[in-house]
Amino acid sequence: MNKSLIYIARRLSFYLIAAFAALTLNFIIPRLMPGDPASIIFARFKGKLNPEAINAMRQSFGLTNDPILIQYWSYLKGIFRGDLGTSIAYFPEPVSEIIGSGLLWTIFLAGLSLVIAFSIGTTLGIFIAWNRTGKLDTFLPPTLAFFGALPYFWLAMVFLYVFGFSMNWFPIGRAFGNQVSPGLNFAFLFSVLYHAILPAFTLIFVSIGGWMLSMRNTMISTLGADYITFANAKGIPSKLIMLRYAARNAILPNLTGFGMALGFVLSGALLTEMIFSYPGQGFLLLQAVQSQDFPLMQGIFMTITFAVLGANWLVDIAILFFDPRTRK
């Protein structure tokens, strides 16, 4: 047990160093982008605005010409105080509030779809690997791989057009209906679920194949191992062999992949959000980049960084549980 604790602590210190490096990069990279926010916002008006307005904008945004080290210092100080600055694209809202508005929806839609796709995909992978001469194994992998290979943008548009617009089964956009008011009431919660079905389905539909295939392949090679043959010879019930002996080992690579994907959930599903007008991080990030909104960009990258690192740390702990070798 002690060894496990040391392992966890070692991993944690590694992640802290990685986090610091990421924060520094997060500060540098947006500043390497060409252009400055005031000029870009001005130019977006395509000549309908006085050029002299730019100075007023620069003043308003509080853009400074301080030396880069001083800017870096105040950036670090701000992060520890939870103050991410003021957004430019949504001036004068604080960045933390803007991110807050998209974060929950992203976690809800992309997170839920990921968990569903991972669970279904992995379970399917286990079963078709176990019955690897069955009809499902000949039919499912190529079909799902085919759909997974289609451009997501196109597929989502087709779903939107067919099920949302033509058949009118599902709403064509947004996270909830125009008539409900957000809060803990049934009308709102149902509306949220109803609106999430179509975007979530497209996300699950394209990603399920990947989880299934990787699980199936590892599972098949695990099933060829000597200890499985031995377990069979000993007469252990086949369900037990499938789940406790084979799947438990075969799931490790998938679990690592899940950790990575979980972290990236926070970067938002940009295309889903665009097509279904669904609120979330992806569209915010796009707008931040387009309007050179450094504070917002940094805030979003920071949440993504922490999410990726945090998720990986959790996966490390989970692997500790699944794989006894890491405990030695």
Partner 1 sequence: MKNFISVCSILALIIFCSCENETGRDKEGLIIYQENQISWVRNFEPLNPVSVCRWPTRGAIYEPLFIYNPIKTDWTPWLATDYKWQENNKRLIFTIRSGVKWSDGKPFSAHDVAYTFNLSKEFPALDTRNHWEYLKSVIAISDTEIEVNFKRIYVPGFESIAGTYIIPKHIWSNLKDPLKFNNPNPVGTGPFTEILRFNSQVWELGKNYNYWQPGKPHVEKLIFPTFSSNEQTTLALLSGNLDWAGAFIPAIDRIYVEKDPEHHHYWFRNTGHSTFLLTNTKDPVLSDVNVRKAISYAIDREQVVRVGMYDYTIPAHVTSLSGPMAKWHSPEIKNKENWTVFNLEKANNLLDNAGFEWNNKEERIKPGGSPLEFDIIVVSGWSDWVRSAQVITQNLKKVGIKAKVRTYDFGAWIARMQQGDFEMAIGWADKGATPYNFFKSMMFSGYVKPIGETADLNWHRFGLEEVDLLIKEFEQTSDEERIKNIISKLQHLFIENAPGIPLFSELSWAEYNSKYFTGFPNEQNPYGPLSPNEQPSFIFTLLNVKKR
169-188 positions binding partner 1, by CB under 8 A: 171-182, 187
Minimum CB–partner distance for residue 42 and partner 1 (Å): 7
Q: How many angstroms separate the Cα of 7 from the Cα of each of 21, 144, 219, 314, 320?
A: 22, 38, 27, 13, 9
Q: Is 290 in the site for partner 1 (CB under 8 A)?
A: yes
Write down the least CB distance from residue 104 to partner 1, Å.
10
Q: CA-to-CA distance for 166 and 170, rounded, in angstroms?
A: 10
Stretch that binds partner 1, among 14-22, 113-121, 159-167, 198-206 (CB under 8 A): 159-167
Binding range to partner 1, per CB under 8 A, among 14-22, 87-95, 144-152, 231-239: 87-95
Minimum CB separation of residue 185 from partner 1 in Å reads 12
Give start and end residues of each alpha helix (H) in 32-165: 37-43, 53-61, 68-80, 95-106, 112-130, 135-149, 152-159
H-state helical runs in the chain: 2-31, 37-43, 53-61, 68-80, 95-106, 112-130, 135-149, 152-159, 186-223, 226-234, 238-240, 248-265, 270-276, 281-290, 294-322
Binding status of residue 65 toward partner 1 by CB under 8 A: no
Among 128, 204, 241, 284, binds partner 1 (CB under 8 A): 284
Counting residues that bind partner 1 (by CB under 8 A) gives: 73
Least Cβ distance, residue 55 to partner 1 (angstroms)? 8
Task: Name which of residues 137 to 156 contact partner 1 (CB under 8 A).
Answer: none
Between residue 239 and residue 278, which ones bind partner 1 under the rule CB under 8 A? 273-278
Phi, psi of 94 (to 5 degrees): -70, 145
Give whichever of 14 and 91 is closer to partner 1, judged by the CB atom: 91
Using alpha carbons only, how large is the chain's radius of gyration in Å? 24
